[in-house]
């Protein structure tokens, strides 16, 4: 089974590279990182390139918007297009288990995303290192790793949507709704919760809401590490105090892993049960 | 080799396939024919495990498709209506991908490329192939693992006449090599040429399955006798009417329609009448006539 998974993953990666998706995304990430590195210094009245930490903070919000959207579009298009164009029909007529198709696609898409992120942010990182002389790239690297984790979660979610929906259009509609809800709408929900609850109930509620959205998970984890969480209110400070510790960090990682694994198995289950009609 | 046992597929209240049982013998070419929506493609998809049955079973070489799907599919090569696998990959890459899934050596890819005369397009992206060449790639995919049975869904529907002719020749070669072939088609002329037996589906049900001569006999459809005359008097149709045959003149050819049971008597009458016969040949009822007759019966 694992051999089949690897073969399908390799094919998926080849298709992603040939379709120039990887190149476009990598270019976009590089462009954004470099633009923010240069603009970051201009905004404080200086010429040159901002360091890695400053660039990472500036990039965070863009990453939180872009990576989930790209991962959703990539995974939904890949699965739904293959179904609608008939390739999946031929693939499933081979002596392979259906779950290997989902796992293989997931691995291939993950590799494509990794190349786009590493290629894009990596090339921008080289320019920052050479032009700014900054060698402390830890914050910047962690941002890339977190972006990848976030991308994996949304690839799993995208595959689940594609495997559960009857058409590409329907899957894309659900995907865009999911992106809008998790990236934009969710924060309004959190603000609403803070108005309704107080004290320890609010802290519990914030903790639960944080775990329930992979975008917020990555945002909070990044802000804690980059020192941007210091401007939060008292309750949020208490929560962040807990998350800063080893147990809190482990909880954040486990929650993100759950966001990667649970939707992936949801996709495997939906794919295994569906009828592939013309 | 291929067995459907009381298989059904329902979508809500619609019965796409309804209690169909049939067996395709090893080395046989069985054609599934039927009007659009008769359930031909659904039956093939049930066999490939692409859809789950609502009842009944399908098996290949004794392997149940639902419970031992991979083993069953290992016995099958599949050519769908849309044959191209991955458009961005070249012909050779598409085949190499499938070869890897089947753990076949790359030499097998080269062999199949040569067999299907795809050498000239081997490095071209599959999406750039013409209909006929894409169909050859599809058949190359189906033949790659050299399975004992082939499942072909409307294989000639998008081909030009020349490609159809070479495709039919290839099928005859495969038949000669002992491949079991289950073919779905609504091009009845092709089916009449190729099939050992025909299964006629209507509204999801199997209404007839047999060889074409046996189906013709079952339908009691008249045979056609074409008599080419050296000279025509005009009285010939009346003469044959007395012998119990319906006839009309078409230029110098007397077209006679005769029930199979009365054929010897009509030929005797023709010979005894002293007509100046230049040529005489008879043809069995066409599959189209049989099909229309049986589907018409099923509709009533």
Query: Residue A235: pLDDT above 70?
Result: no
Q: In the predicted model, what is the mean pLDDT of residues A180-193?
A: 84
Mean pLDDT of chain B: 88
Answer for the pair B188, B288: CB distance below 8 angstroms, yes or no.
Answer: yes
Q: Which residue in A89, A97, A99, A272 has the most chain B C-beta atoms within 10 A of its own C-beta, making it the best mutation to test that interface? A: A89
Q: Of A82, A126, A128, A84, whose CA–CA distance to A104 is shortest? A: A82
User: What pLDDT is recorded for position B278?
Assistant: 87
Q: How far is CA B104 from CA A164, B99, B147, in A?
A: 33, 5, 12
> Is there a contact between B102 and A95 if contact means CB atoms under 8 Å apart?
yes
CB atoms within 10 A of CB A6: 16
Q: How confident is the model at residue A133 (pLDDT cuts 50, 70, 90)?
A: low
What is the mean predicted confidence (pLDDT) over B41-70?
93
Decide if pLDDT at A46 tops 60.
no
Q: Work out the pLDDT band at B295, boundaries 50, 70, 90.
A: confident
The DSSP bridge pattern shows strands B223-229 and B253-258 to be antiparallel
Of B247, B251, B240, nearest to B278 by C-alpha is B251
Q: Which of A36-45, A261-270, B132-141, B267-276 has the lowest mean pLDDT?
A: A36-45
Tokens at A56, concatenated? 């990472």
pLDDT bucket at B160, cuts 50 / 70 / 90: confident
Per the CB < 8 A criterion, the answer to whether B29 and B151 are in contact is: no
Q: What are phi and psi of A47, to 5 degrees?
A: -95, 160
Angle in degrees, 0-180, between the axes of helices A21-43 and A2-18, rounded to the nearest 10:
60
- Sheet harboring B246-250: ordered strands across? B246-250, B253-258, B223-229, B277-283
Contact across the interface for B97 and A90, Cβ inside 8 Å: no
Stated as kind and residue range, the H or E segment containing A105 is helix A98-132
Give the pLDDT of residue A275.
83
The more confident residue out of B148 and A60 is B148
Backbone dihedral region of B149: left (phi > 0), alpha (psi from -120 to 50 degrees) or beta?
beta
Highest mean pLDDT among A64-68, A151-155, B279-283: A151-155
Chain A CB contacts of B82 under 8 Å are 85-86, 89
Q: Which residues of B touch A (CB under 8 A)?
A: 41-42, 45, 48-52, 69-71, 73-74, 76, 78, 80-89, 93, 97-98, 100-103, 141, 151
Q: Is the pLDDT of residue B144 over 80?
A: yes
pLDDT tens for residues B148-158? 999 999 888 77
A224-228, A249-253, B92-96, B281-285: which has the minimum mean pLDDT? A224-228
Q: What is the average pLDDT across A184-195?
A: 80
Could you count the other beta carbons within 10 Å of the beta carbon of residue A109? 27
Query: Do the beta carbons of residue B182 and residue B60 sit within 8 Å?
Result: no
Tell the CATH superfamily of the B2-216 domain: P-loop containing nucleotide triphosphate hydrolases (3.40.50.300)
Contact between B80 and A87 using a beta-carbon 8 Å cutoff: no
Residue-wise pLDDT for A87-106, tens only, equals 898 999 999 999 999 999 99
* pLDDT for B178 beyond 60: yes
pLDDT score for B253: 87
Contact B100 A7 (CB under 8 A): yes
Close Cβ partners of B270 (under 8 Å, ≥ 6 residues apart): B225, B227, B240, B243, B256, B277, B280
* CB within 8 Å: B97 and A277: no
Query: What pairs with residue B281 in β-bridges?
Result: B226
Question: What value of ipTM does the predicted structure carry?
Answer: 0.82
Q: Is the predicted pLDDT of residue A229 greater than 70, yes or no?
A: no
Q: How confident is the model at residue B88 (pLDDT cuts 50, 70, 90)?
A: confident
Please give the mean pLDDT across all residues of chain A: 84
Element (H, E) at B257: strand B253-258
Q: Which of B45, B50, B86 sits opposite A87 (nearest CB)?
A: B86
Pairing of strands B29-33, B76-79: unpaired
Closest to A276 in 3D by CA, of A5, A9, A4, A82: A82
Domain ranges of chain B: 2-216, 222-284
CA atoms within 13 Å, Cβ hemisphere of B184: 22
Residue among A19, A96, A276 minimizing CB distance to B51: A276
Return the higher-pLDDT residue of A237 and A261. A261
Q: Where are the domains of chain A?
A: 2-273
Instruction: State yes or no: pLDDT of B104 exceeds 80.
Output: yes
Q: Is the pLDDT of residue B262 over 80?
A: no
Give the pLDDT mean for A170-174. 94
In angstroms, how far is the first alpha carbon of chain B from the final one? 34
What is the Cα Rg of chain B in Å?
A: 23
Q: What is the pLDDT of residue B287?
A: 83
Buried b (16+ CB within 10 A) or exposed e, B268-288: ebbeeeebeeeebeeebbbbe
- Across A105-119, A150-164, A253-267, B81-95, least confident range: B81-95
> 3.10.180.10, 1.10.630.10, 3.40.50.12280, 3.30.70.860: which CATH number matches B222-284?
3.30.70.860
Is the model's pLDDT at B290 over the cut of 70? yes
pLDDT of A12 above 60? yes
CA distance to partner chain B, nearest, from residue A78 (Å): 11
What DSSP designation does B90 have?
B
* pLDDT for residue B52 is more than 60: yes
The pLDDT score that the predictor gives to residue A228 is 62
């Amino acid at each position: 089974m694992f051999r089949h998974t690897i073969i399908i993953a390799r094919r998926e990666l080849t298709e992603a590279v040939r379709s120039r998706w990887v190149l476009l995304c990598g270019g976009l990430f590089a462009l954004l990182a470099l633009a923010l590195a240069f603009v970051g210094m201009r905004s404080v009245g200086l010429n040159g390139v901002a360091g890695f930490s400053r660039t990472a903070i500036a990039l965070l919000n863009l990453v939180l918007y872009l990576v989930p959207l790209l991962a959703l579009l990539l995974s939904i298009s890949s699965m739904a297009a293959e179904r609608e164009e008939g390739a999946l029909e031929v693939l499933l007529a081979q002596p392979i288990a259906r779950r290997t198709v989902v796992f293989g696609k997931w691995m291939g898409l993950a590799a494509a995303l990794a190349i786009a992120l590493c290629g894009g942010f990596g090339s921008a990182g080289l320019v920052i290192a050479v032009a700014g002389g900054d060698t402390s790239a830890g914050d910047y690297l962690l941002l890339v790793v977190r972006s990848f984790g976030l991308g994996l979660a949304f690839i799993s979610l995208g595959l689940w949507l594609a495997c559960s929906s009857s058409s590409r259009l329907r899957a894309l509609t659900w995907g865009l709704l999911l992106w809008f809800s998790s990236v934009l709408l969710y924060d309004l929900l959190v603000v609403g919760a803070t108005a309704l609850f107080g004290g320890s109930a609010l802290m519990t509620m914030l903790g639960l809401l944080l775990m329930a959205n992979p975008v917020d998970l990555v945002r909070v984890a990044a802000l804690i590490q980059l020192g941007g969480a210091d401007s939060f209110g008292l309750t949020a400070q208490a929560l962040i105090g807990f998350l800063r510790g080893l147990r809190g960090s482990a909880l954040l990682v486990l929650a993100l892993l759950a966001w990667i694994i649970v939707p992936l198995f949801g996709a495997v289950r939906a794919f295994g049960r569906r009828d592939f009609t013309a | 080799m291929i067995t459907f046992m009381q298989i059904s597929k329902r979508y809500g209240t619609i019965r796409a396939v309804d209690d169909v049982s049939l067996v395709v013998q090893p080395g046989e070419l069985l054609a599934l024919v039927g009007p659009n929506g008769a359930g031909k493609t659904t039956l093939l998809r049930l066999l490939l495990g692409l859809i789950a049955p609502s009842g009944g079973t399908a098996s290949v070489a004794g392997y149940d498709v639902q419970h031992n799907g991979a083993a069953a599919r290992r016995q099958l090569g599949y050519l769908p209506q849309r044959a191209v696998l991955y458009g961005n990959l070249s012909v050779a890459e598409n085949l190499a991908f499938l070869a890897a899934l089947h753990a076949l050596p790359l030499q097998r890819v080269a062999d199949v490329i040569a067999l299907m005369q795809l050498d000239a397009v081997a490095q071209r992206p599959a999406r750039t192939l013409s209909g006929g060449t894409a169909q050859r790639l599809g058949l190359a995919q189906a033949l790659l693992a050299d399975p004992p049975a082939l499942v072909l869904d409307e294989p000639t529907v998008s081909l030009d006449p020349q490609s159809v002719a070479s495709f039919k020749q290839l099928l005859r070669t495969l038949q000669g090599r002992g491949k079991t072939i289950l073919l779905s088609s609504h091009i009845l002329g092709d089916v009449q040429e190729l099939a050992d037996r025909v299964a006629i589906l209507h509204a999801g049900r199997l209404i007839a399955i047999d060889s074409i001569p046996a189906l013709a006999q079952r339908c009691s459809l008249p045979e056609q006798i074409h008599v080419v005359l050296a000279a025509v008097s005009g009285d010939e149709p009346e003469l044959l009417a007395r012998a119990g045959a319906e006839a009309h003149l078409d230029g110098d050819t007397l077209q006679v329609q005769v029930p199979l049971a009365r054929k010897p008597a009509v030929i005797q009458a023709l010979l005894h009448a002293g007509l100046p016969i230049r040529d005489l040949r008879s043809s069995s009822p066409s599959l189209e006539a049989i099909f229309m007759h049986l589907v018409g019966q099923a509709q009533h």
